[in-house]
Amino acid sequence: MKLKFRCSKTRMKPKWEGVLFFFFILLIGAVAVNSGNNLVYLTFSTVLSFLVLSGLLSYFNLKGINIKIQNPQFIFANKETVLFVTITNASKIPKFLINVKLFTTKTQFTYIEKEASKKVKITFKSRGTKEIKFIEVNSVFPFGFFERIKEIPITFGITVAPSVKDVIFESSSVAEKKNNSEKFRGDEEFFSIRKYRDGEDSRKISWPLSAKTGKIMIVEKTGNSDKKIKFLFDNAKILYKNSFAFENDLEKITSAIYYCFKQQCMVSLISEKNFAFSSDSMHFKRIFDYLATINAKEKLPLRKVSDAISPSDIKYA
C-alpha cells in the first residue's frame, strides 16, 4: 500500500486488515442508508468509532518517545557488532509494540513504561564512517489496522574499522620482538588490576574480583605492557596492483594491531599519519579510526623502516 497520511510529524500507512475493515464499514453504512434501521446505524457508528480510536491510540503511542544508542569502543567490518538501543518514554502513558529500524536491522519493544533497552546485532559489510540523521520507529498498535511511522532526529555516527582475522608474524627482522604469540602468553608477575577491555582474552578475567566489584576486572601482569611493536602501512597507490590488494594489506595491519591490543602491547604506526607508542585503548581507537577511512593515494612511497612490521611480514593463521 502506497497510501500515506501525514499527521504531526508522523505518517500513517494502512495495513490490509485496515483496508478490509474500512470496506466493511462502508458496507454497513450502505446497508444502514438503504434499510433505515436504527440498529444498523448504531452498528455502523460503533465500528466507525473503532477505526477513529485506532488512529488516535496509534498517534499517542508514538508521542513523547526518544532514542539513545550506545556502541562498543571498536567496530570491525564483517564482525557481529552489538549496539544497545534505549527508548525513553517522557509521557505518563505506557507504549506498546514499538518497532525500531536501525540501519537495516529491526527490533521490537513490546512494552515501555519509562525506559527500555535492547541489544541490536548488526554486521557491517565494509569499513568507513556510518552516519544516521534519524531513526524510524513504527507501530501497528492497537488493532493492526494502520501502521503509524515516526522519524526521530538523532545525531549518531560510528566508524567501522577493516576486518580482523587471526594472523601470525613471519619476518625474521622482528622475530626478537614478536617471537610468535608464546612470548606474550608466558607467566609474569602481578602488575595491576583494571577493567576488562572489549576483545581481550577472557581467560585473564578474575572472576572472584569481578563478582566482588560488580564489574569485569582483569589481573594485569608485567611483561607485555613494555613490549613495543612498530607497524608500517604505506598507502602509496603505486605499491598495489588493485584495490583488492590494498584492502587485503589494510586488513592484515588492522588484524595485527588488534592482536597487539589484546596482548596489551605498546604499538606505534608509521603511515601518512604517524602514531607514537602507546598501549592506551583510546590510542588504539584513534588508529582503527584512521585505518577505517584511509585510501590509496598518488604519492611517493614512504621510506622503509627496518624494525617496523609491514603487511608483507604478516600472514593469516
- What are φ and ψ of residue 272, in 5° steps? -60, -30
| pLDDT of the residue at 180 | 37
pLDDT given for residue 178 in this prediction:
44
Q: CB count, 10 Å around CB of 298?
A: 7
Euclidean distance between CA atoms 114 and 117, whole angstroms: 11
Helix (H, G, I), strand (E, B) or coil at 146: strand
pTM: 0.72
Grid cell 598501549 is found at 279
What is the model's pLDDT at position 176?
44
Q: Which is more confident, 137 or 188?
A: 137
Pure H helices in 118-242? 175-178, 207-213
Mean pLDDT of the region 6-31: 79
Q: What domains are there in the chain, each with its CATH number?
A: 1-160 (2.60.40.150), 167-188+223-316 (no CATH)
Q: Please name the helix (run of DSSP H) or strand (run of DSSP E) that holds residue 43, with its range, or none.
A: helix 38-61
> What's the pLDDT score for residue 202?
67
Query: Distance between CA 33 and CA 25 in Å, rounded?
Result: 12
Instruction: Specify the residue for cell string 609474569.
Output: 188
Who has greater pLDDT, 211 or 75? 75
Q: Tell me which residue has cell 548488526.
A: 122
List, in sequence order, every residue forming a beta bridge with 68; answer none if it has no partner.
86
Burial label, 8 (beta-carbon count in 10 A; 0-12, 13-18, 19+): exposed
State the CB neighbour count (10 A cutoff) for residue 140. Answer: 21
Collapse the DSSP code of 100 into the 3-class scheme (helix H, G, I; strand E, B; otherwise coil) and give the result: strand
Listed in sequence order, the residues at least 6 apart from 182 whose beta carbon sits closer than 8 Å to its beta carbon are none
Whether the per-residue pLDDT at 174 is higher than 80: the answer is: no
Residues 127, 160 contacting (CB under 8 angstroms): yes
How many secondary structure helices (H) and strands (E) does the chain include? 6, 16
pLDDT at 175 over 80: no
- At 207 the three-state DSSP class reads helix
DSSP states of 8-42: TTEEEEE-HHHHHHHHHHHHHHHHHHHH--HHHHH
Residue with the larger pLDDT of the pair 216 and 187:
216
What pLDDT does 226 receive? 56
> How many angstroms separate the CA atoms of 270 and 268, rounded?
7
What is the tens place of the pLDDT at every residue in 105-153?
889 999 999 999 999 999 999 999 988 888 999 998 888 888 899 989 8
Assign 172 a pLDDT band (cuts: 50, 70, 90).
very low
Q: Which residue has the higher pLDDT, 224 or 303?
A: 303
The confidence band for 7, taking pLDDT boundaries of 50, 70 and 90, is very low
* Residue 25 contacts residue 44 (beta carbons within 8 Å): yes
Q: For residue 200, what pLDDT is reported?
A: 61
The predicted structure's pLDDT at residue 252: 94
Q: How far is CA 122 from the centre of its chain?
A: 6
With bands split at pLDDT 50, 70 and 90, how would you rate the model's confidence at 28?
Answer: confident
Which class for 104: exposed (0-12), middle (13-18), buried (19 or more C-beta within 10 A)? exposed
Kindly report, residue by residue over 237-270, the tens digit of the pLDDT. Answer: 999 999 999 999 999 999 999 999 988 889 999 9
C-alpha cell belonging to residue 248: 587485503
User: Is there a cis peptide before residue 142, judged by omega within 30 degrees of 0?
Assistant: yes
